[in-house]
Amino acid sequence: MELRSRTLLIVALCMLLAACGDTNVVNSIKFVQTIGYDAAKNGVTSSAVIANYEEQGKLKLEFYVTESKSVYDTMPKLNMKLDFPIEYGQLRMALFGDSFARRGIATAIESLIRDPKISARAHIGVADRDALEMLNIAENKRDPYFLSDLLEQNMKFGNLPRMNLHSTFFNYYGSGRDFFLPHFTIERDEIKLDGLALFKGDKYKVKIGVTDSFLLKLLLEDSLNGSIMVPVAGGNQTRQEYFLMNSIKSKPTYKVIRAGYPASIAIHVNLKAQVKDVPQWIDLTSEDELALLEKSIEDYCVKEIQNLISLCKSNEVDPLGLGDLIRSRSKNWDSRQFDKHYKELTTTVVVKARIIRTGASG
C-alpha cells in the first residue's frame, strides 16, 4: 500500500511536469537555420534553408521561398508552405541581398533582436547579388550552418573583425558609430568572403576588401590572427615584391588631440607579427633585414590605414567609432554637428611593428 501510493504520487507529479512544457520533438518541427532577404517589387522575398533530419546522420536541406509585404510576416507566410510548425530558435545566419541592404535593413535586424528566441550571437551578412541565389549555392554544401561557420572561422583565424547581431546593434544604436557586415561573393560556384560592407545608418554604402578588413580588425581589437601581403622594396631590386605578414597580437590606442571642430585624433597601433614567407633575397636571420621588413610593415599599414580612413570620410561612414571617441571627450556632443565636420577630421597614425617569429629559421 505504502509503495503504491508513493508511486501514484510520483506519477501524478510527473504528469504535472509534462503538462507545463510546449513539447517540440525535433522531427515534427522545421528548424530555420539560415534565412535570406531580398528586395522584391513591393515587399521582400525571403528564402529559408531548413534542415530535414529524416534519419539519424542523414540530412536533407530544404529550400523555401516566399514573398511578403515586409519582413514581419515572413514566418507566417513560410508556415503556409510547411507541413510542420516553424521554429527559428536555431537561426544562425541572416543574409541580405545587395539591393535589400542598400534600401536599409533596420526593420529586419530589429525584428531579429526583439525576438528572445534568436541568439544575440547570430550572424548577419550581405551578398553581392540576391541572397536567394547565394543560398542556393550554400544549399549544395549539405550543411545548414555553412555560412555562419565560414564567418566564425574567419573571425577567429582570419581577417574579419568580430561581428554578430549584438555588436551590429551596438554600432547601429551607438552614437558616432556605424556598423559593418561581412560581404560575400561567388567565385567558381563557391561562396567566398571578399571583405566588409560598410553601412551608413542602416543602408549599405560601400564595400572594402580583405586587406582593409584586416586593418579594421587591427584598429578595433587585439587581432590575434589575420594576414596581409606587404610590399617590400630594397637592395638592388627593381621590381616590387610582397611578403606575407601574420598578425599575432596587436593593440590599438586612441588619443583625442582636440575634441572641438575640426577634431583631431592620434592612433597608435602596436603590432606583433610573424613573417615566414619572404622573397628569396631577404635573409630572415639578419637583424638589418628584419628591421627593413618591420619598416615596410609600418609604412604600408600607416599608408593603408590613412587610405581607409579617407575612404570612410568620403563615404561618410564611421566604422571605427571615431565619433564615439570624440563624444566621450566632450560634454555636449551632437551627432549632426560631428557629421558635418567629419570630413575635416584629421588623424595621425603610428604603427609600431615587431616581428617576433620568423618560422623555423628564426
Partner 1 sequence: MSQVTSEQYTISPYLIIFPLYVGMVGVGILTYQRRVMEHAGYNSWVSLIITGLSMHLLLWMLYKILSSIEDSRDIVAINHKLFGKWLGNLINLAIVLYFVLGAFVKFKVYVEMIQVWLFPSMNFLPVSIVILLIVYYAVSGGLRSVTGIAVWATMISCLSIVPQVSLTFPYLHPMNLLPLFNHSATDILLSSKDMGFEYLGFETLLFIYPFVKTPEKSQKWAHLIMILVTLLYLMILILAFMFFTEEQLLHTIWPTLNMIGIFEVPLLQRLEYMAVSLWFIKIIAGISIFIWAACRGMKLAFHFRPRISLIVFLAAITVSSYFIIDHRTVEWVSKMYANVGLYFIYAYIPFIFLCVMVRKRLASRATPANE
User: Which spans of this chain sit near partner 1 (rule: CB under 8 A)?
Assistant: 16, 19-22, 89, 110, 113, 116, 119-121, 166-167, 169-170, 172-175, 177, 324-325, 327-332
* Least gap, CB of 319 to partner 1 (angstroms): 14
Gyration radius of the chain's alpha carbons: 25
Q: Which is nearer to partner 1, 6 or 166 (CB)?
A: 166
Beta strands in the chain (DSSP E): 30-40, 43-52, 60-68, 86-87, 93-96, 123-127, 180-187, 190-200, 203-208, 227-232, 241-258, 264-275, 346-357
Q: Which is nearer to partner 1, 207 or 327 (CB)?
A: 327
* Least gap, CB of 112 to partner 1 (angstroms): 13
| CA–CA gap between residue 303 and residue 339 (Å, rounded) | 24
Q: Which is nearer to partner 1, 39 or 263 (CB)?
A: 263
Q: Which is nearer to partner 1, 328 or 337 (CB)?
A: 328
C-alpha pair distances (Å), 207 with each of 40, 90, 99, 215: 22, 29, 14, 14
* Least gap, CB of 63 to partner 1 (angstroms): 25
Q: Which is nearer to partner 1, 165 or 228 (CB)?
A: 165
* Least gap, CB of 104 to partner 1 (angstroms): 17
Cell numbers at residue 127, please? Answer: 551578398
* Least gap, CB of 198 to partner 1 (angstroms): 18
Q: Which is nearer to partner 1, 32 or 228 (CB)?
A: 32
Q: Between vectors from CA 121 to CA 118 and to CA 122, what angle results, nearest 5°?
A: 60
| CA–CA gap between residue 149 and residue 142 (Å, rounded) | 13
* Least gap, CB of 199 to partner 1 (angstroms): 16
* Least gap, CB of 329 to partner 1 (angstroms): 7
Q: Within a 13 Å sphere around the CA of 72, how many CA atoms are in the beta-carbon half? A: 6
Q: Which residue has the cell 509585404?
A: 69
- For residues 165 and 112, the answer to whether their CB atoms sit within 8 Å is yes
- For residues 348 and 360, the answer to whether their CB atoms sit within 8 Å is no
- For residues 125 and 182, the answer to whether their CB atoms sit within 8 Å is yes
Q: Which is nearer to partner 1, 50 or 109 (CB)?
A: 109
